Amino acid sequence: MKYFLALVVCLLIVDTSQAQLFKKEKVRYDSNQGRGSTDNNLLRWGYFLGVNSYDFNFDYNTDLPDIAVTRNPGFSVGLIGNLRVNSFIDLRLEPGLLITTRELNYSPEWFAGIADTKASDFVREVRSTYIHIPLLVKISTKRINNFKPFIVGGFSTALNLSSNEDNPEDNSAGEFRTTKNSLFYEIGFGIDFYFYNFKFTPSIRGLFGIKDELIRDDEPNSPWTTNIAGMQTRGLFINFTFQ
């Protein structure tokens, strides 16, 4: 449903502004009659809405069936601060709130030799609410009429408000725990679309965790965490930016 709504918003914007977007003459991007943002301003501001899909990458100590991760679409919202370096390079800070849910499905082989296992033992839900702060470098091409493609990349950190890192209960009580703080690198691409009063930018970006995010169970032989050598977040963002 969230993907559908995002697509509808994109189509409405393109449809209502079609004459501006596809004309050969460049439209003037200068919101609020000259008091808003232009591409030549040193600082520009905006906001973004989007959807996300998070996954985990696992490394294992021994050869057991992989943990299957069920991904669910999440929601993203945040602000943009853009610092112009030159006509082709910008530095961007994009603090945002990202909400997502992942489900981990364990194979029964992980519980071999353990009596009284239940169906609920094979499933763990991981809910995450991130305060996400990326610092990105945006490298654009020359503007072509009312289009301007770009690539973007950089590093980010996130505070997971739903991590359960300090929770004394672990998987034996049904609580899967992750670290509060995470580090990532990000890379993506997008296109700036110029309209008379604003700039609309759809983009796709991948996120990759750098450090281990798993909090091990207190029991040294826990079937849920003992065989996991490392666990890093992976994510995909589809964002719609307005400046």
Domain boundaries, the chain: 2-242
DSSP letter (8 states) at residue 144: B
pLDDT of residue 26: 67
pLDDT score of 34: 43
CA 43 to CA 174: how far, in whole Å? Answer: 47
Choosing among 3.50.50.60, 2.40.160.20, 2.30.40.10, 3.30.43.10, the CATH entry for 2-242 is: 2.40.160.20
pLDDT tens, position by position, 220-242: 899 999 999 999 999 999 999 99
> Is 27 within 8 Å of 196 (Cβ atoms)?
yes
Q: Between the CA of residue 230 and those of 57, 77, 81, 102, 103, what are the distances in Å?
A: 8, 29, 34, 17, 17
> If pLDDT is split at 50, 70 and 90, which confidence band does 2 have?
very low
- State percent of the chain over pLDDT 70: 85
Q: Which residues pair with 187 in a beta bridge?
A: 153, 206
The mean pLDDT value for 209-218 works out to 95
pLDDT at 116: 85
Query: What does the alpha-carbon distance between residue 110 and residue 233 come to, in Å, rounded to a whole number?
Result: 22
What is the structure's pLDDT at 25? 61
pTM: 0.82
pLDDT tens, residue by residue, 160-204: 999 989 999 999 999 999 999 999 999 999 999 998 888 999 999
Residues above pLDDT 90, as percent of the chain:
74
What is the rounded average pLDDT for all residues in the chain?
A: 87
pLDDT of amino acid 30 = 57
The model's confidence at residue 24, banded by pLDDT at 50, 70 and 90, is low
